[in-house]
Amino acid sequence: MAKTIFHAADKRGHANHGWLDAHHSFSFAGYYDPTRMHFGEMRVLNDDIIAGGMGFGKHPHDNMEIITIVLDGELAHQDSMGHVQTIVPNEVQVMSAGTGLQHSEYNHSKDKAANLLQTWIFPNKKNVAPRYDQAKFAPEDRVNTLQTLVSPIDDSDSGLKIHQNAWIYRTTLEAGKSVTVQPHTAQHGFYIFLIDGKVAAGEQTLNKRDAVGVWEADSVTITAAVTSDVLVYEVPM
pTM of the model: 0.97
The pLDDT score that the predictor gives to residue 157 is 85
Average of pLDDT values for 213-227?
A: 98
pLDDT confidence of residue 220: 98
Q: Smallest Cα–Cα separation from 228: which of 195, 192, 204?
A: 195
DSSP characters over 16-85? E-SSEEEEESS-BTTB--TT-S-BTTEEEEEEEEE-TT-EEEEEEE-S-EEEEEEEES-EEEEETTS-EE
End-to-end CA distance of the chain: 16
pLDDT computed for residue 126 by the predictor: 96
Rounded Cα distance between 154 and 36, Å, is: 30
Q: Give the tens place of pLDDT for each residue, 66-120.
A: 999 999 999 999 989 999 999 999 999 999 999 999 999 999 998 999 999 999 9
pLDDT digit string (tens) for 111-143?
A: 999 999 999 999 999 999 999 999 999 999 999
Cα 32 → chain centroid: 20
Q: Select from 163, 39, 33, 165 the least CA-distant residue to 95.
A: 163
Element (H, E) at 236: strand 228-236
Vertex 87, ends 85 and 92: CA angle to 5°?
115
Instruction: Give yes or no for residue 1 having a pLDDT over 90.
Output: no
What digits encode the pLDDT tens for the residues 148-175? 999 999 888 899 999 999 999 999 999 9
pLDDT at 5 over 90: yes
Which domains occur in the chain, in start order? 12-136 (2.60.120.10), 139-236 (2.60.120.10)
The confidence score (pLDDT) of residue 137 equals: 98
Cα(212)–Cα(230) distance, integer angstroms:
12
